[in-house]
Structure 1
Amino acid sequence: MASQNGRFPIVGVGASAGGIPAMEGLFKGLTDGTGMAFVIVTHLSPERESLLHEVIRRYTEMPVVVAEDGVAVQPDQVYVMPQNVVLTIRKGALSLRRPNTLNRERKPIDIFFSALAEDQGEYAVGIILSGGDSDGTLGARAIKEHGGLTIAQASNGYGPRNPDMPQSAISSGLIDIAAPADQIGAKLQAFARGFEVLSGLAEADDEHKAEMDRARDEIYAILRSHSGHDFSGYKTKTFLRRVKRRMQITQLQSITTYIERLKRDPDEVAKLFRDLLINVTSFFRDAEAFKLLEEKIIPQIFEGKNASDAVRVWVPGCATGEEVFSIGMLMRERMDKLSASPRVQIFATDIDEPALAVARAARYPEALLHGLSPQRRQRFFHSDGESYVLGTEVRELCIFSPHSVIRDPPFSRMDMISCRNLLIYFGPQIQNRVIPIFHYALRPGGYLFLGT
């Protein structure tokens, strides 16, 4: 459904093995006149002509066409990626490129979702259906970070026949709605209607400004009482956009009703809290902090160490690896300046095993390489299809393992702990348990690298 500004949701649908029954459930669950555009991205053999567009026509009254380069995406149409192309989107128009014949792109869903997130922001929707591997998880994160909606298939008669892809995304905590394929359509259309109903929420006029200020202060107070965090310094428009997004997902049409929901539903408070904490993840996020690490801290860590010594770093809550690898690149650059370098071990841990699998692969769409200088991209990464893969000279420094900083025994003898995005998710009671654990894990004189 188009909003007052003429924009409409563009829905990326990612599927692979077992995806046909899932797409049948999705499209049969949509009613006429969705006001949305759908772009289907699948894992296809480059040698075989895809007839997927003909299959999808059986399940929907919307026009279903094979995607073409330069075509402006229109609402109430379905675009299907053809075989042997890499599909992205820019300024609302599809972009098709022939891949490198030597390197077939293995993560086409991540590639499209990441481009869709950058291009459409809050109007981007990513749906992850049946399929193998973890394709779609990084792309879903990009959509979530840009304020869009993420959906993954839960099980029923329409599958998923292969649950790896949707389960990877669900386990990451990045999915807004997990539902059986035949129920996704109704939830998606309810979300889309919210663009029109709530169009003025983040842009309140003078008449409603006082009312919105009171509502915002009330939400601040609810969040503060549940988490101990004060969001009154948060950018007002960004704060209200995140509230609006939660209202769309919960299908509530007034700020007063949503506040009542927050008062009686601690789970919704937690979901809003997590949405408010989402930052765009990137390599070397907070450049000034990493510059200080590069120029002051890492040289001090290496000082006095020789080839028989070790430098030990722990990164709890490492997620999909960008923070770990940023530190790894700085460590490798320092090692290259020394005639006799100590052994470097970076222990990267998380409770989310699918996220660890993404991190271990060290494979990122170009759209997610923000923060990397051209020099570091050229030195440490090589292109593989439309993705970039980190080289072994940094990956060999990093050891990924599942670990809970709260439940599992801590690491020890660490020169540095980097915990830039984890503590803020904990309440004061858990924080007070974790800080002594970090103190125990650090060597005397070790460094604790925190976020802001």
Structure 2
Amino acid sequence: MGIGASAGGLEALSLFLHGLPGAPSNATFIIAQHLAPLAKSLLVELLRKQTKLPISAATDRMALKAGEIVIIPPNYDASVVRGQLRLKKAGEATRPKPSVDTLFTSMALDCGRRAVGIILSGTGSDGSDGVRAIKENGGYVMAQDSESAKYDGMPKASLDTGLVDASQPPEELGRTLYELLKTHGDPSKPEPYTAAENVGLRDILNFLRKETGSDFTQYKTSTVRRRVEKRMGQVKAESLAQYLQIMKDDRAELSLLAQEMLISVTSFFRDGTAFDALKLQLEDIASRKPAGEELRVWVAGCATGEEAYSILFLLLDIFKRLGREPYLKIFASDLDQEA
């Protein structure tokens, strides 16, 4: 569990810890609270008054233990690497320290679907890129709602990604997280579905296809199961059959599950190997195009658009090297209406 906060963070962290009804035995909390680089931090001492969970300042190469809270010290960035916390001097760069994006991105890569990112009060947009990384790798994201945040810059930047799973006041986030951890145990070790549960999952996908026109039956079962179980946790459904009935009774939930399946996460030149191969194909196509003839490209799943622009950059470079004026038209579409 990574928690990112800045201005107004102490109050929000205190409320979040108060909201935890008990001590989760299957989670470690890493707090990245923006701090003045040269100031002595009293965050460990202040938060110890708010919870019975053990709290300590992070040290380099410390092993992460369930049921504990660690706080990144001033002027350091932290990354999770093979279950250890690695610290690195943040340097002179004029940016918030410690970096929430750095922490969240490392969690996404190291923990995959077991990563949970939580954004609390703060100015700026630190954490929003890390939110995308966590969702891309199947994790879970929570953010303080703008109304309760003393400074809503960071929560709003995360909410604007469209990838936040739960947005509530900090004390409610604590309760929601505790219930999720209690309900799902260790998400990295899911129990295999029974034959009846497999039928239940298929019924949900068939209903989704019938009502929305979107067919997710060819998605990886593990991916579909993760998305469905996440929504089940949100509405407190105890079985697939119960969740299917909720979907039938509430079209809003139907839409939320459909949206959950469509994680619009991308980045510029996201898959280097694929773009290297694509570049060779585009060079061949462009070289055979008669001068002045238009070249059209369709990016069928554009997400937030970076792939369309990446292809544009490739083509502009190719036509420049060919010494020819580019005549390009690039279409970008997505099944996700919010893309």
Q: Provide TM-score, normalisation by structure 2.
A: 0.86
Among 162, 182, 188, the alignment partner of 1:193 is 182
1 CA distance for matches of 2:162 and 2:287?
Answer: 36
- Residue in 1 that maps onto 2:236: 251
Residue 424 in structure 1 maps to residue 339 in structure 2: no
In structure 2, the CA distance between the partners of 1:20 and 1:198, relative to structure 1 (3 Å rule), is: closer
In structure 2, the CA distance between the partners of 1:17 and 1:312, relative to structure 1 (3 Å rule), is: farther
Per-residue CA distance 1:201-248 (angstroms, 9 max, x = gap): 6622xxx22x12321221122111221122222222222222122222
- Residue in 2 that maps onto 1:290: 278
Residue 149 in structure 1 maps to residue 60 in structure 2: no
2 CA distance for matches of 1:227 and 1:330?
Answer: 35
2 CA distance for matches of 1:89 and 1:197?
Answer: 18
Among 7, 23, 34, the alignment partner of 2:24 is 34
How far the C-alpha of 1:12 sits from its partner, in A, is 0.6
In structure 2, the CA distance between the partners of 1:317 and 1:21, relative to structure 1 (3 Å rule), is: farther
In structure 2, the CA distance between the partners of 1:200 and 1:95, relative to structure 1 (3 Å rule), is: closer
Q: Which amino acid aligns with 1:187?
A: T
- Residue in 2 that maps onto 1:139: 130
Per-residue CA distance 1:12-52 (angstroms, 9 max, x = gap): 11011111111111111112222221111122222222222
Secondary structure in 2 aligned to 1:224? helix
How far the C-alpha of 1:125 sits from its partner, in A, is 0.8
1 CA distance for matches of 2:60 and 2:331?
Answer: 43
In structure 2, the CA distance between the partners of 1:320 and 1:47, relative to structure 1 (3 Å rule), is: farther
Task: Kindly indicate whether the alpha-carbon contact (under 8 Å) linking 1:86 and 1:105 is maintained by their aligned counterparts in 2.
Answer: no
How far the C-alpha of 1:324 sits from its partner, in A, is 4.5
Per-residue CA distance 1:244-271 (angstroms, 9 max, x = gap): 2222232222122111112112222222
Kindly report which structure 2 residues correspond to 1:353-392, keeping only aligned pairs within 5 A, or say none.
none
Task: Kindly indicate whether the alpha-carbon contact (under 8 Å) linking 2:104 and 2:117 is maintained by their aligned counterparts in 1.
Answer: yes
In structure 2, the CA distance between the partners of 1:112 and 1:317, relative to structure 1 (3 Å rule), is: same
Task: Kindly indicate whether the alpha-carbon contact (under 8 Å) linking 1:153 and 1:180 is maintained by their aligned counterparts in 2.
Answer: yes
Per-residue CA distance 1:103-151 (angstroms, 9 max, x = gap): 3554711111111111112211111111112111111111122221111
How far the C-alpha of 1:304 sits from its partner, in A, is 2.7
Stretches (4+) displaced over 4 A:
104-107, 197-202, 296-301, 310-321
Q: Which amino acid aligns with 1:242?
A: R
Residue 115 in structure 1 maps to residue 106 in structure 2: yes
- Residue in 2 that maps onto 1:238: 223
Q: Which amino acid aligns with 2:224?
A: F
What are the ranges of 5 or more consecutive residues in structure 2 without an aligned counterpart?
Answer: none
Secondary structure in 2 aligned to 1:337? helix
The sequence identity of aligned pairs, in percent, is: 35
Residue 21 in structure 1 maps to residue 11 in structure 2: yes
Among 207, 215, 233, the alignment partner of 2:200 is 215
Residue 304 in structure 1 maps to residue 288 in structure 2: no
Q: Provide TM-score, normalisation by structure 1.
A: 0.66
Task: Kindly indicate whether the alpha-carbon contact (under 8 Å) linking 1:146 and 1:280 is maintained by their aligned counterparts in 2.
Answer: no
Secondary structure in 1 aligned to 2:330? strand
- Residue in 2 that maps onto 1:169: 158
2 CA distance for matches of 1:325 and 1:51?
Answer: 45
What are the ranges of 5 or more consecutive residues in structure 1 without an aligned counterpart?
Answer: 1-10, 345-413, 428-452
Secondary structure in 2 aligned to 1:130? coil
Task: Kindly indicate whether the alpha-carbon contact (under 8 Å) linking 1:198 and 1:253 is maintained by their aligned counterparts in 2.
Answer: no
2 CA distance for matches of 1:93 and 1:87?
Answer: 10
Per-residue CA distance 1:379-426 (angstroms, 9 max, x = gap): xxxxxxxxxxxxxxxxxxxxxxxxxxxxxxxxxxx832242xx43124
Structure 1 window deviating more from structure 2 (324-333 vs 118-127): it is 324-333
Task: Kindly indicate whether the alpha-carbon contact (under 8 Å) linking 1:116 and 1:124 is maintained by their aligned counterparts in 2.
Answer: yes
2 CA distance for matches of 1:199 and 1:324?
Answer: 34
1 CA distance for matches of 2:224 and 2:259?
Answer: 12
Q: How many residues align?
A: 333
2 CA distance for matches of 1:200 and 1:68?
Answer: 29
* Higher strand proportion: 1
Per-residue CA distance 1:148-171 (angstroms, 9 max, x = gap): 111110145xx4111111111112
Task: Kindly indicate whether the alpha-carbon contact (under 8 Å) linking 1:315 and 1:418 is maintained by their aligned counterparts in 2.
Answer: yes
Task: Kindly indicate whether the alpha-carbon contact (under 8 Å) linking 2:265 and 2:304 is maintained by their aligned counterparts in 1.
Answer: no
- Residue in 2 that maps onto 1:203: 192
2 CA distance for matches of 1:274 and 1:153?
Answer: 21
Task: Kindly indicate whether the alpha-carbon contact (under 8 Å) linking 1:27 and 1:185 is maintained by their aligned counterparts in 2.
Answer: yes
How far the C-alpha of 1:56 sits from its partner, in A, is 1.5
- Residue in 2 that maps onto 1:272: 257
Structure 1 window deviating more from structure 2 (324-333 vs 184-193): it is 324-333
1 CA distance for matches of 2:180 and 2:236?
Answer: 7
- Residue in 1 that maps onto 2:310: 326
1 CA distance for matches of 2:179 and 2:14?
Answer: 20
C-alpha RMSD over aligned residues = 3.2
2 CA distance for matches of 1:185 and 1:150?
Answer: 13
2 CA distance for matches of 1:172 and 1:60?
Answer: 31
2 CA distance for matches of 1:42 and 1:200?
Answer: 31
In structure 2, the CA distance between the partners of 1:218 and 1:316, relative to structure 1 (3 Å rule), is: closer
Q: Which amino acid aligns with 1:182?
A: E
In structure 2, the CA distance between the partners of 1:290 and 1:284, relative to structure 1 (3 Å rule), is: farther
Q: Which amino acid aligns with 1:416?
A: K
Among 328, 333, 338, the alignment partner of 1:415 is 328
In structure 2, the CA distance between the partners of 1:196 and 1:63, relative to structure 1 (3 Å rule), is: closer
Secondary structure in 1 aligned to 2:180? helix
